[in-house]
Structure 1
């Protein structure tokens, strides 16, 4: 019977298992870098539908700004409920009030309802299907995991795989990396795309530290060694709650900011706001 080294054994495990065990190969072998610590916001599933939703979103952004120095904001899809151009524009205008860099990915509700047209999204957020950016020594990768208007039993589109295959060799393997998508990537999470493992396989060489996602409208808690992933939905938002994010290589926390009751005319939200820091400690 063939004997495998520890590294060889890790390489044979599926990405889902590696995520669940906190044994991402690239993270385990990455060299120490000069990546800095900073704070950023991740928000998802705003589902803007009417002007009344805009008032709720304005109150929410006011709470987001109250948390002190934040470097950037990521929205993990479903900015709107029906994908209309005017709705995308309204959300963009309100989020611009944060006065910080804004990075988004497309969700299934960001397509124009009825015909799967993503032109309104692309007009509002140019060059925001698959892309990457760097910040203070960290790599951020935004990926399109949508399949038009479909919400379940989906497959990540071919153009996303093509983009990753073209770009993967250009990323710094040692820099800590964060991926953000709309559809969930974690093993065992509902609505996970059917070909998720095939996509994650391509990122094994990178120092992947976390994946932020949206889409699932319910409370869920999945324990990974690197991340305690939590999401919740509430018809009424009262006060402010705090949930911990426990990571083996991060010191961080999350806050679920609740900013008053949403109108019955607004789409039932699954919005969560994660405010997290990126203190990185190398594990030898």
Structure 2
């Protein structure tokens, strides 16, 4: 019965992916661009959720990975005059290398100092990029390499890249959480002392998660700015990226895979419905986040599982009974 249910879930997921992959043939460019935003923001929020919800690494400067990935893609594509879709893996690798280098100073910090430290690092990158003529300085740079493609091919290609990024991030996250790294991370999150006593290499586990989450975020950032065809320091290294990721994770449920899915859907529903209200829209988002943290600390997904104990991704680990 379990095998049958698993097969049905896989078939449903493949069918859904097939339907989503066909979107460019029956929707307009505006809808495609919106869905690119949804997929990339979801991937960024899920990567943040992995860091905070499973690794205990609350990152306020998550936008640094977005910016590094986006600028890596644009610089490689423009300077080397290569196909930008072929450069996406290199953008992810470049962000991963940055994550490795940044881990040394960041991991020397703890708690609030770590959170603020990531924001400071993101601001340093923004200022450095702002004063770098090779990267376009304050005016940024366009993605010239996409100019040789017709509009349909360009939009469809970016859409498929975003879809692959969103689905791929979810698959990677599930694989991590079902493996030894996921078990190590959850033990570290619950008690670093107990995890270390049981033989878990805390630094190694956190470093692996830091690099993986950073690479995934860099990839999503690169695809997100392929969608706009322009990068600027103020946009790519904007705190808005971290704010959106945190809001989505808090609303949906930190420390779950399902939470970012729910949070992303609610976030974009609210944005498309109420963004025209200006500052009142942001006040509403903040109020909703506060209400969620007070009355449903586990997010919307915790309210669902409280009534229906479901685990669609099979990553929940129950504590053994004494």
More helix by share: 2
More strand by share: 1
Which structure: larger Rg? 2
Normalising TM by the smaller chain, what interval?
A: under 0.3
**Structure 2 length normalisation: TM-score?**
0.22
Higher RCO (Cα < 8 Å, 6 or more apart): 2
